[in-house]
Structure 1
């Protein structure tokens, strides 16, 4: 079944019933389930054979969608995302930001945080003001500041001359610029002011993430004790595991308080490393992210990433010039591809993939009361996949954004 893209924001019927598909619920995947949606929310889920649940509603204001051979999963939630569709959240342009949002929604990411790229504090504050309005309008789930408080030795695609130590006064300036919508900030805790900033973020109810760091094992443990709860794209932009100097990876994997971000695009991580992270952390402590830049959903070419230029070749984004030329610059990943790869290449179960792509990031962003799982009372945010795990439908708040062909 191919997918047919809808335009704009279609209105939903009074009631929609999705029938006959496998349904991924917290208790496991149920065959031939039925989901009823009214007013943009899930009002009923039945997990047994449809025939045993009585006849389907026959009403002019009910849309019945028969989906045998398909899988319905919760809408994906991305807590680390910079751009897509040729646009960037760092643009400080609301229309461009909406293009990013629309691109990823049509690939199944129905909720997302907007990630910034290192810039001057004034530039980041201007970006935060625009993004905060989109959060308040319900378009975004919050703001993630990635940089400038990161290690020059692990800056990756961040411009080195704009990096700075995490002085709590500077950290507070960005928090204030977000007007209550900051959800996460990445900090290298070994830098001067790092631990104090982690404590400040934790006390403010903002996720403190350890990343782009040269922290030792012991320094990382101190950061966790100070309140850090996330590892920014674990394994990437940090020292590798060492048998005498285990570094941050060991500390982040072993601590039950930490959720680890993983970029599952086949470029950032070898499948064996991803599987090791799942074994060590457990599915309840993994969040798949895209770390996507403007080329997500687009063709190869040149794209901006904050103040830097990125060349995308064969779907891999790299900095094209300057002292960090050749460094991987985020990804061109979308979460529908991450889901398919998880279950077809990485040998993860559907339940594990749903935890990593929906439930866990929703919990960390503080929106799991509305999204992240298929449950009565939650928003009708869901993704329909065919037998090969390719996306054929996306629904957000009860309205189709990508409508399965033929319905």
Structure 2
């Protein structure tokens, strides 16, 4: 693998008084960081032109992009998603999808087979299943044939399809045997995430005690907070050991509520996601998810009945909106899509930061979070054509 020198960059975590840095990549990892000449001559040089260098973004909740969907069940579709992700600064992602009861679910096998493959863009880290053990009342865009009652045997059937590829599962702990499934997921090192739930405050706490340590798209597909009936949100805000996903497009969460949540939770508990659909990276228009038509308008995706089902907004722009709404620093916003998801997935010792020895997954950004270049494993997989 060719060595790469990223020259004249501004590190996202460096004090403003620091000068520009150079980063040498060798054998797919960050080998050296400094202000002078690297210890070895590189085979390729990328002049950053003073742009911001950040760790590559990690999207733990994306169903599709670039005209493709995980449900397409082909390596070509996963590669299209990977390439669309790279254009948004995403260097790794979880293929987020559903489990169809009584069907072959070939899409899960294909996704598992593609983990670790070169897809020409972002790395595929694993699978995030929304369901099938979720609440019918809070299913949102997930169809009834993708729901099931929790049981050890049902979980084993799913694991038979995903193999070692299942990294995260969204569950509703209030369902019968829901806590048993949560414990089984935790025992296997799979992230159990609370979501699409109608849990009470007490049921949510029980879920956290059983092993849930993450929350799927905060506020969406769950009961609202009430001062006499706090529901799952009351439990979420109380538990400092629980991290949350948030869609920061300004539609899924009102800006005022986003500011309140970000301040109350703190940046370390926050993970910015896209909940991206196949329309991500494409113009507003009409598309189809799981056989049902939907429309994107200003980046928000909705079924014909108005049900909000996801977004077509890239993760780089989600971070720009987070900065705009909350007033947090660029570095703080970036951590919600790098260090935080890496930690949740157990990858914090190898990715999510710009340090010697870490994976050379990085992104060069303009001041408005427009992506200039994306590097995966030390290879430039995207560079803006105008430059």
Query: Normalization by structure 2: what TM-score?
Result: 0.92
Q: 1:401 corresponds to which residue?
A: 381
- Structure 1 residue 202 displacement after superposition: 0.8
Q: 1:246 corresponds to which residue?
A: 230
- Structure 1 residue 405 displacement after superposition: 6.0
Q: 2:85 corresponds to which residue?
A: 104
Return the match for 1:309 from 293, 308, 332.
293
Give the Cα separation in 2 of the matches to 1:141 and 1:223: 25
Query: Would you say 1:348 and 2:328 are equivalent positions?
Result: yes
Give the Cα separation in 2 of the matches to 1:188 and 1:273: 23
- Structure 1 residue 388 displacement after superposition: 3.0
Contact 1:118–1:158 (8 Å) recurs in 2: no
Q: In the superposition, relative to structure 1, how do residues 65 and 276 fare at CA in structure 2: closer, same or farther (>3 Å)? A: same
Provide Cα deviations, 1:328-357, integer angstroms capped at 9, x if missing partner.
011112111112222234311122112201
Return the match for 1:77 from 46, 50, 58.
58
Q: In the superposition, relative to structure 1, how do residues 137 and 401 fare at CA in structure 2: closer, same or farther (>3 Å)? A: closer
Q: SS in structure 2 opposite 1:178? A: helix
Query: Would you say 1:335 and 2:315 are equivalent positions?
Result: yes
RMSD over aligned CA atoms reads 2.1
Give the Cα separation in 1 of the matches to 2:219 and 2:111: 28
Give the Cα separation in 1 of the matches to 2:33 and 2:267: 24
Between 1 and 2, higher relative CO (CA 8 Å, sep ≥ 6) is seen in 1
**Gapped regions of structure 2 (runs ≥ 5):** none
Q: In the superposition, relative to structure 1, how do residues 58 and 74 fare at CA in structure 2: closer, same or farther (>3 Å)? A: closer
Contact 1:91–1:306 (8 Å) recurs in 2: no
Structure 1 window deviating more from structure 2 (200-209 vs 342-351): it is 342-351
Return the match for 1:326 from 288, 299, 306.
306
Q: SS in structure 1 opposite 2:277? A: coil
Give the Cα separation in 1 of the matches to 2:136 and 2:293: 18
Contact 2:24–2:38 (8 Å) recurs in 1: no
Q: 2:70 corresponds to which residue?
A: 89
- Structure 1 residue 164 displacement after superposition: 2.0
Give the Cα separation in 1 of the matches to 2:193 and 2:102: 19
Q: 1:268 corresponds to which residue?
A: 252
**Gapped regions of structure 1 (runs ≥ 5):** 1-11
Give the Cα separation in 1 of the matches to 2:104 and 2:346: 27
Give the Cα separation in 2 of the matches to 1:393 and 1:171: 40
Provide Cα deviations, 1:271-292, integer angstroms capped at 9, x if missing partner.
2222222222221111111111
Give the Cα separation in 1 of the matches to 2:227 and 2:338: 34
Provide Cα deviations, 1:107-130, integer angstroms capped at 9, x if missing partner.
111010101135225343x22111
Q: 2:30 corresponds to which residue?
A: 42
Query: Normalization by structure 1: what TM-score?
Result: 0.88
Q: SS in structure 2 opposite 1:141? A: strand
- Structure 1 residue 301 displacement after superposition: 2.4
Q: 1:3 corresponds to which residue?
A: none
Return the match for 2:151 from 167, 174, 194.
167
Provide Cα deviations, 1:9-52, integer angstroms capped at 9, x if missing partner.
xxx643x2223321024x76754122111222111112xxx3xx
Give the Cα separation in 1 of the matches to 2:231 and 2:321: 29
Q: SS in structure 2 opposite 1:180? A: helix
Contact 1:69–1:387 (8 Å) recurs in 2: no
Q: In the superposition, relative to structure 1, how do residues 316 and 388 fare at CA in structure 2: closer, same or farther (>3 Å)? A: closer
Structure 1 window deviating more from structure 2 (304-313 vs 238-247): it is 304-313
